[in-house]
């Protein structure tokens, strides 16, 4: 397939967007350099609506912008049930999760895990997040690379480096405040861009919206009775809804890129409002992005046909460049770019927070005990991780990966969702202990892998199995190991559960630095004798 090319006007629009994004990072450079409190939490001065918009832009990546229309184009709107799942968990977040994150004034989500279970689980959770998000950033860089290279003859490596370097530079400069305000601008651009595609696509068809509706009804492109049946060829809506409930629990409770936003507002009420803003924006995604896929299905049924062997992951940018006026198509390519950096920058800043706070500051504090004020190390982490992710994106590009939406959901369900089960065990049970949640995490991920490989279940079902498996196995192993340790003393973590939500809690402070090797290998008994900070919770003590 010959690349149609962008043209000078489109390139001008894209370049203006890139420069504006860099400008936001530069604007917040001085504030971000004030220390890790500024770099990672913006000292709690972000308005609720902006934090909500940032959460939305972070979760609405290029994966959504390109792969959601692809899903509607190839199949139907059944996956839209997942967008509604956020409303099922917002009450849980506001009532049960956010109070503990705010009570501890955490910088990373995994600080809660140390207070509840000890340093070994904190390190494990933080490392899992870092590894997963390096892969996630790679996918998010790959998608706009695919978008540009499908409509131009530019080398994919050049595009991948351009996207990666842009994201690294303004994250490096502006910290979380620069990231959030860039998210706001990028979120507006991508929503406007999606609306433009929708309107132009409808206008390009004879009969307009009536033609789209007729085609969708005739070919079951919306929701049909088959979507409510289990085991059929169509996606079953109950499973499509249930799986994202657990995926969202992972993202909103165990994923640092979202949890970090909870600390950027001035109060728990502001955090709750930010989640409500995010929820309504998630609803807006349904008619916009699934609508694009359905409109383009009609467009390529009647007006034109796609080239032979076309990779449908590039459907949206191909339509933009070949069917829309110059300048407008440039805006839409810029919107795809906007979807990518908004996610990449959030992941990079959050990865840096985990490496800085959970590893360096936790295990290698300054010898004089004084807090560090510089952010040079945190910025170095952003540069290194950005380079690794670009390399992984180039691999995805070289192997021409398609169906990236299912690929992303599979990775999330297998490696991320069991960690959400660990947070749930910590908050909702008194008996959960370190050995139990570690066993639950391993067994839940293993069970998810088995059903994914052997049973051929959908990514949504895999997520369901992963969460429930981690929860059930974690509780049972906790009961078993707790019974074996009767008589030992441990740290009182009742204020970190729903049974002591209103109780005051003083964070444990280590009497000496703990090395990473000690964090991983120390048994609860060894930890209890070494330092109060490394006590692992014991089931018997919290009955």
Among 107-121, 125-139, 170-184, 324-338, the least confident range: 324-338
Percent of the chain with pLDDT over 90: 18
Per DSSP, helices labelled H in 354-458 are: 362-363, 376-398, 404-411, 417-428, 434-450
- pLDDT (tens digit per residue) in 4-52: 556 677 677 777 777 777 777 677 776 666 677 778 888 888 999 999 9
- pLDDT (tens digit per residue) in 195-217: 888 998 899 888 889 999 998 88
Contacts of 236 (CB under 8 A, 6+ apart): 78, 227, 228, 229, 230
Contact criterion met (CB below 8 Å) for 257 and 350: yes
- Mean pLDDT of all residues in 133-155: 74
- Give the integer Cα–Cα distance in Å for 413 and 434: 22
Note whether residue 1 is domain-resident. Answer: no
Helices vs strands, H then E, count in the chain: 26, 0
- Give the integer Cα–Cα distance in Å for 28 and 221: 45
* Residue 411's pLDDT band (cuts 50, 70, 90): low
- Mean pLDDT of all residues in 476-503: 77
Quote the tokens at residue 106: 């955490």
CB atoms near residue 486 (< 10 Å): 10
Query: In the Cβ-directed half-sphere of 2, how many Cα atoms lie within 13 Å?
Result: 1
Instruction: Quote the pLDDT of residue 529.
Output: 34
- pLDDT (tens digit per residue) in 268-307: 899 999 999 998 888 888 899 999 999 999 998 887 778 8
Note whether residue 160 is domain-resident. Answer: yes
Q: What is the mean pLDDT of the chain?
A: 79
Per-residue DSSP letter, 532: G
Contact criterion met (CB below 8 Å) for 77 and 223: yes
CATH number at residue 181: 1.20.1730.10
* Residue 519's pLDDT band (cuts 50, 70, 90): very low
Total domains in the chain come to 1
Write down the residue that tokens 């689980």 correspond to.
121
Instruction: Quote the pLDDT of residue 433.
Output: 92
Note whether residue 185 is domain-resident. Answer: yes
Percent of the chain with pLDDT over 70: 79
Write down the residue that tokens 């570690």 correspond to.
438
Using a 10 angstrom Cβ sphere, with 0-12 exposed, 13-18 middle and 19 or more buried, the burial of residue 501 is middle
Question: Residues for the chain: how many in total?
Answer: 543
- Mean pLDDT of all residues in 427-432: 92
Note whether residue 124 is domain-resident. Answer: yes
pTM for this one?
0.79
Note whether residue 3 is domain-resident. Answer: no
- Give the integer Cα–Cα distance in Å for 363 and 123: 10
- pLDDT (tens digit per residue) in 433-460: 999 999 999 999 888 888 877 766 677 7
Quote the tokens at residue 141: 């860089």
More confident residue, 424 or 241: 424
Q: How far apart are the first and last CA of the chain?
A: 66
Residue numbers of the domain that contains 291: 8-542
- pLDDT (tens digit per residue) in 387-401: 888 887 777 777 655
Q: Shortest CA distance to 459 belongs to which of 13, 93, 82, 20?
A: 82
- Give the integer Cα–Cα distance in Å for 256 and 416: 12
Note whether residue 227 is domain-resident. Answer: yes
Note whether residue 532 is domain-resident. Answer: yes
- pLDDT (tens digit per residue) in 220-230: 888 766 666 66
Note whether residue 506 is domain-resident. Answer: yes
């Amino acid at each position: 397939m010959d690349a149609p090319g962008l043209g000078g006007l489109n390139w001008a629009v894209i370049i203006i967007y890139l420069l504006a994004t860099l400008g936001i990072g530069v604007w917040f450079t001085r504030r971000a350099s004030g220390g890790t409190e500024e770099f990672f939490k913006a000292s709690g001065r972000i308005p609720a609506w902006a934090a909500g918009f940032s959460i939305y832009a972070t979760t609405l990546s290029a994966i959504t912008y390109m792969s959601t229309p692809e899903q509607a184009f190839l199949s139907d709107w059944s996956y839209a049930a997942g967008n509604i799942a956020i409303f099922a968990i917002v009450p849980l977040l506001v009532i049960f999760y956010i109070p503990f994150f705010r009570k501890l004034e955490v910088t990373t989500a995994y600080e809660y895990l140390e207070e509840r279970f000890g340093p070994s689980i904190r390190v494990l959770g933080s490392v899992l997040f870092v590894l997963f998000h390096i892969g996630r950033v790679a996918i998010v860089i790959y998608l706009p690379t695919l978008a540009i290279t499908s409509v131009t003859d530019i080398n994919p490596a050049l595009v991948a480096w351009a996207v990666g370097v842009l994201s690294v530079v303004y994250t490096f400069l502006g910290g979380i405040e620069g990231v959030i305000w860039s998210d706001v601008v990028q979120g507006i651009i991508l929503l406007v861009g999606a609306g433009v595609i929708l309107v132009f696509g409808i206008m390009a068809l004879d009969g307009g919206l009536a033609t789209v509706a007729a085609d969708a009804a005739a070919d079951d492109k919306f929701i049909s009775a088959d979507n409510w049946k289990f085991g059929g060829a169509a996606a079953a809506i109950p499973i499509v809804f249930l799986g994202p409930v657990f995926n969202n629990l992972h993202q909103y409770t165990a994923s640092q890129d979202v949890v970090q936003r909870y600390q950027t507002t001035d109060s728990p009420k502001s955090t709750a409002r930010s989640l409500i803003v995010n929820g309504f924006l998630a609803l807006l995604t349904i008619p916009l992005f699934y609508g694009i896929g359905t409109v383009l299905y009609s467009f390529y049924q009647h007006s034109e046909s796609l080239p032979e062997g076309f990779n449908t992951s590039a459907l949206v940018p191909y339509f933009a460049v070949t069917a829309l006026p110059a300048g407008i198509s440039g805006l839409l390519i810029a919107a795809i770019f906007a979807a990518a950096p908004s996610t990449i920058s959030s992941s990079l800043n959050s990865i840096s927070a985990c490496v800085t706070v959970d590893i360096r500051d936790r295990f290698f504090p300054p010898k004089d005990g004084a807090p560090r004020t510089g952010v040079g190390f945190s910025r170095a982490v952003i540069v290194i991780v950005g380079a690794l992710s670009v390399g992984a994106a180039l691999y995805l590009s070289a192997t021409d990966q398609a169906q990236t939406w299912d690929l992303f959901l599979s990775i999330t369900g297998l490696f991320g969702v069991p960690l959400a089960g660990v947070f749930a065990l910590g908050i909702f049970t008194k008996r959960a202990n370190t050995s139990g949640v570690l066993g639950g995490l391993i067994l839940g991920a293993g069970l998810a892998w088995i059903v994914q490989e052997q049973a051929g279940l959908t990514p949504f079902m895999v997520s369901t199995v992963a969460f429930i498996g981690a929860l059930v196995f974690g509780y049972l192993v906790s009961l078993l190991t707790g019974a074996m340790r009767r008589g030992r003393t441990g740290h009182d973590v009742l204020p970190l559960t729903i049974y002591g939500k209103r109780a005051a809690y003083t964070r444990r402070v280590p009497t000496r630095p703990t090395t990473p090797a000690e964090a991983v290998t120390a048994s609860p008994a060894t930890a209890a004798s070494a330092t109060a900070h490394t006590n692992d919770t014991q089931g018997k003590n919290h009955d």
